[in-house]
Amino acid sequence: MGGTRQLNLQSFILTPNELSTALAKNVPTKISTAPRIIPLCAAWFLPNDPQGRTGQRVFEEKRIPTARFFDLDAVKDHASPYPHMLPSAETFAKAMQDIGIRKDDEVVVYDTQELGIFSAPRVAWTLQVFGHPGVHLLNNFRLWVEQGYPTESGKFEAVVEEPSHYPTPTLDAARVVAFSEMKEIASDHGKEGSEGVQVLDARSKGRWAGTDPEPRPGLPSGHIPGSISVPVSELLDPHTGALLPGEELRRLFESKGVDPERPIVSSCGTGVTAAVVDAALGEAGFGQPEARRLYDGSWTEWAQRVSEADGLIRKKV
């Protein structure tokens, strides 16, 4: 069999019907080397989840047939003191090899039925910054289940028949904001002649304002100077947990005073739900893709490396 690409997934955001139709038209065989459509489960729960749920457990209980599992807690920079910093290119490539994904596969990342859109955008963004060419986001697995599309269960180890050969990629550093640049952006906020970078914060309004505590002990709440509160809950349908339609998202960003002509950096607690904001900006057609970036360390790094005393942690009075 040849490696001719016959797939037809045009948009980044896919509905359950679009994914189901594509999977039905592209059934892989063991002898084929043609590009495949691979559902990729990005299930992740907070460490203090009250029900003790884990991503791997819910993946094994219910998943899209042929799906693989991407473990956010495993595929990261383990040398960093911050929870979800991007892994090295070698670590990323090894993870893709271990779950049997090839470079020419079209990957459709999805979340849990329980939480709706949450961690899948972070995994999709990770694949994109490491240059994977075919990346999509399912909107969403809860709707997939509710609309009666098939699911399967079984152990994680049974999914991957054999490792893939995935070449070591190059990180697209232009899409990632490091602490030093973030500090410069915050310090320049409001100064005449500054670039006017907008920082969108996905945490809850209370955490952004400094009136609610952070979930991590000892970490102060508040916000980066000049940042705009865009709680991730406002980007999602309250019943389905799916991203709102593009036009609704556009109106929401406009109502918060976000300027599509200026650069945008998304941030959150640990860099996970910042990617939901980034995905929402893309779905809304808001801002140029090359002018949208993500602050990898987000609030967990920021609040440990700056202080209120130096004016870099603000609270809403």
41 noted as active-site residue: no
Q: Roughly what angle, to the nearest 10 degrees, separates helices 274-283 and 246-255?
A: 110
CA distance 293 to 129: 10
Burial of 56 (0-12, 13-18, 19+ CB in 10 A): middle
CA distance 278 to 264: 9
Sheet containing 198-201: give its strands across: 176-177, 292-295, 264-267, 198-201, 228-229
- Cα Dmax for the chain: 65
What are 287-291's contacts with CB under 8 Å, separation 24+? Answer: 287/258, 287/260, 287/261, 287/262, 287/263, 288/260, 290/174, 291/262, 291/263, 291/264
Tokens 């009136």 -> residue: 211
Tokens describing residue 260: 């599509």
CA distance 126 to 107: 12
Strands (E), the chain: 13-14, 37-41, 68-69, 106-110, 135-138, 176-177, 198-201, 228-229, 264-267, 292-295
Which amino acid, residue 167? P
Tokens describing residue 159: 């999914």
Q: Identify the active-site residue in 185, 236, 268, 274.
A: 268
Q: What are phi and psi of 209, to 5 degrees?
A: -75, -15
Radius of gyration of the chain (CA): 20
Residues marked active site are found at 268
